[in-house]
A and B are shown apart, each in its own frame.
Chain A
Amino acid sequence: MNKLWLIIQREYLTRVKKRSFLLTTLLVPFALIAFVVVVAFIFSYSANQNKIAVINDSGLEIKLKDTEKVYFDVANESLDDLKKTYQKKGYNGVLYLPKVKNLKQTEVRVKYYSEDQISITTKEFIQRELADKIREIKIDSSQINRAVLESFNTDIALEEVGLSMTESGELEEEDKTNSANIATAMGMIMGFIIYLVLFIYGSMVMRSVMEEKMNRIVEVMISSVKPFQLMLGKIIGVGGVGLTQILIWAILIPTLNFIVSLVIPIDPDALQSSQLTTAQSEDMMYQMAMVIENVKAQNWGLILPMFIFYFLGGYFIYSSMFAAVGSAIGDDLGESQSLTLPITLPVILAIYIAIAVTENPTSGLATFSSIFPLFSPIVMPARLPFNPPIWEIVVSMIVMVASVAFFTWLSGRIYRVGILLYGKKVTLRELGKWMFYKD
């Protein structure tokens, strides 16, 4: 036990003390935040104000609203003249409103003349503005009572209500509006984080095992400790490094985000088109509030511990397999690919299954793959926001614990043979045989 602890310490400390670890751990959050800030700036500053000359032959009194991004100037010249001179006069283009002969007309063909292409948002804005303005004029000129007209508009809101039975047998209702989308997003994010962790830290374990074998320290080591202790110590040590890194990120990213938002206030509207109508932006705000409300309403007391459980379980299963493969590989990284494929394949498969499962969280595939130990580390966390049945979680966890024990034991059997074998190209078949070698 004491020796195992020494190994864990070394594996952990040598990595954490490395300059590259400090750099990635600290730089990633900064880079991420810097990225968000830069994107925000690009969005808020990219649009130079467009100046558009308007020739209004429609016969209607239309005054287009100026915004930060587009400015309208009523021109009194003829269209033909302006087509030649608009650039000299500092316009980006000429907007031509043709004669509207009849207010009952339901289509008006407006033309925009310019050498440059108009941006989609500006185009949509002009179309919306003109339609609104003409509609107002049509309403005013008709006999319709505006209030009556407004009353024809109906907003429909579909609210989802989750049903569940309490222990006392009463029916309980729960607002679930928007929760499906949010559950999907959250599930995918959690599944994806575990997917990345399995690959990044799993291959870190593999590389480290290969290095030990190649520089021949391993023979010195196993004359003092059991090969299994060495492997386990490495897996736990590297796992600790991973946990540390993620923990630091989990603290640093929100903190930095908060600081940045204090120092550089980013108007959320700036990210959106500033040409949104007030009603639309109010709607957006409402949606945002709903999302935040929903994320908060998730069962975090269950999700967080479960996430860490599957994170660790998946890491142990896969990194021990990576260690076994690492022990079998010679100095040639190329030959490792045929051996790592059986490990990487289930991980990749699992992320696809996770996508399918978030679409359909109660399917048979969902149940199977959140219990099957090679898939469950990714699939189960992805399913957690959908409140899977408790029995499935319990079975999945039991299977996971048993599998962790089984896979580390199995990998240990391969590892102890592999680390002492040199100069031989190993096939998968041989790896299988090694499990049955005696000491």
Chain B
Amino acid sequence: MFCKSIFVHIKSESIQMNILELHNVVKTYQKHTAVNDVSFNVPKGSIFGLLGPNGAGKTSLIRIITTITRADSGSVILDGEKLSSRHPSQIGYMPEERGLYKKMKVGEHLMYLAQLKDLSRKDAKREINYWFDRLQITDWWDKKIEELSKGMQQKIQFIATVVHQPKLLILDEPFSGLDPINTNLIKDEIAELNRQGTSIIFSTHRMEQVEQICEKIVLINQGQNVLEGDVHAIKQQFKEHLFQIDYNGELPKSLTVEDETNDSYRILERKDNQLIIKVEHDKASNELLNYLMQNGVYINGFKEILPSLNEIFIKQVEE
């Protein structure tokens, strides 16, 4: 529910449909190539997963997108324009390692960061108050940052990231250190922002979150784009034709023999009233179901087992 943007997702390479396009981006640091010829598109209004193991080049990529560093070659297009120093005010970036000035008061800190994103004093104040109301922290304005718990500081960091209404939001491990309640709170806010049209790049190691949240992903490993596309399509691409059958009744004899093999399917696992099978061709599942039903077995459930992103991730990285 969360990941499904209300915006109709049209697969198109046209510039207007992508909030961000990377074309053959390369970044080297001395002898080390951090980003090696990476290209991908982030569709407008989508939640996009930027995945990769530690040291894969995610942070280098994000720093290029946020104009902190520059690519050695290749191009980055933000909302149809070549990335330039004007763009930081259109991007909201929450780094994985994030801090605040401990001695400052919450209100003045947010005012400072908002004005650095080109908001006027008046607009900054209005936006901050809006977020204070939304997150129910209206009495925090005069609190010192150092008086806040880590979770509370995360909320402030979140506000600082979104206060200037960026077109593109880049969140690097946004839920690390948050308790489940605050995680849900921030998740809901991200969903709301996405509903309002904000495109979001979401970088994390937590694959179950990616599966929940993202529509599209790109997987970076050793500075290269190893996998890209729709979460659903990727899962289809990597599926191993496994099915799970839940049933009641007695299995026909031929299926209870351990070494039963068949041209059409292979039984991988037998549990109480459950079979895991691998089918060899498309029709095989139907054939098996027919066979079971004809032999008086009641089918309670039948579903395809798709690989988790976690499995795909590990498989790709280890290859």
Interface residues of A (CB under 8 A from B): 3, 6-7, 10, 14, 18, 215-226, 420, 422, 437-439
Contact = CB atoms under 8 A, between A and B. Distances in A.
A438 B70 CA distance: 9
B100 A223 contact: no
Interface in B94-150: 94-95, 97-104, 112-113, 115-117
B117 to A, nearest CB: 6
B101 A217 contact: yes
Given A6-B115, A6-B116, A220 B104 contact: no
Secondary structure of the A contact surface, majority rule: loop
A222 B68 contact: yes
B112 A215 contact: no
A216 B95 contact: yes
Nearest to B69: A439
Secondary structure of the B contact surface, majority rule: loop
B112 A10 contact: yes
Contacts of B89: 224
Interface of B: 29, 63, 66-70, 72, 85, 88-89, 91, 93-95, 97-104, 112-113, 115-117, 157, 160
Contacts of B157: 220
Contacts of A219: 68, 95, 97-98
B239 to A, nearest CB: 39
Contacts of A437: 29
A225 B117 CA distance: 8
B102 A215 contact: yes
Contacts of A438: 70, 72
B113 A224 contact: yes
Given A14-B104, A224-B116, A439-B70, A216 B99 contact: yes
Given A215-B102, A438-B72, A439-B70, A224 B97 contact: no
Contact of B97 (A3, A216, A222): A216
12 contacts: A6-B112, A215-B101, A217-B98, A217-B99, A217-B100, A219-B98, A222-B68, A223-B95, A224-B88, A224-B113, A225-B116, A422-B97
Contacts of A10: 112
A3 B68 CA distance: 16
A219 B95 CA distance: 7
A14 B68 contact: no
B204 to A, nearest CB: 17
Contacts of B95: 216, 219-220, 223
Given A6-B115, A438-B72, A220 B99 contact: yes
B99 A215 contact: yes
Going nearest first, the 3 A-B pairs with the smallest beta carbon separation are: A215-B99, A216-B99, A224-B116
A402 to B, nearest CB: 27
Nearest to B157: A220
A14 B103 contact: yes
Contact of A223 (B29, B88, B102): B88
A11 B155 CA distance: 24
Contacts of B112: 6, 10
B142 to A, nearest CB: 13
A222 B116 CA distance: 10
Contacts of B97: 216, 219, 422
Q: Which of B67, B99, B160 has the most CB of A within 10 A?
A: B99
Nearest to A17: B103
A342 B102 CA distance: 31
A225 B118 CA distance: 10
B120 to A, nearest CB: 10
Nearest to A13: B108
Contacts of B98: 216-217, 219-220
B160 A220 contact: yes
A422 to B, nearest CB: 8
Contacts of B160: 220
A152 B66 CA distance: 91
B244 to A, nearest CB: 45
Contacts of A3: 116
Contacts of B117: 224
A7 B93 CA distance: 19
A419 to B, nearest CB: 10
Contacts of B99: 215-218, 220
A224 to B, nearest CB: 4
Contacts of B100: 215, 217, 220
A224 B86 CA distance: 10
Nearest to A219: B95
Contacts of A6: 112, 115-116
A223 B104 contact: no
A3 B100 CA distance: 18
A221 B98 CA distance: 10
B68 A223 contact: yes
Contacts of B66: 223
Given A3-B116, A217-B101, A223 B69 contact: no
B103 A221 contact: no
Contacts of B104: 14
A437 B103 CA distance: 34
Contact of A220 (B67, B69, B72, B113): B113
Nearest to B66: A223
A225 B89 CA distance: 10
A291 B29 CA distance: 63
Contacts of B103: 14, 18
A215 B146 CA distance: 12
A223 B95 CA distance: 9
A364 B117 CA distance: 53
Nearest to B100: A217
Contact of B101 (A14, A18, A225): A14
A132 to B, nearest CB: 68
Contacts of B101: 14, 215, 217
A29 B178 CA distance: 49
Contact of B93 (A216, A220, A225, A439): A220
A34 to B, nearest CB: 30
B310 to A, nearest CB: 27
A282 to B, nearest CB: 58
Nearest to A217: B99
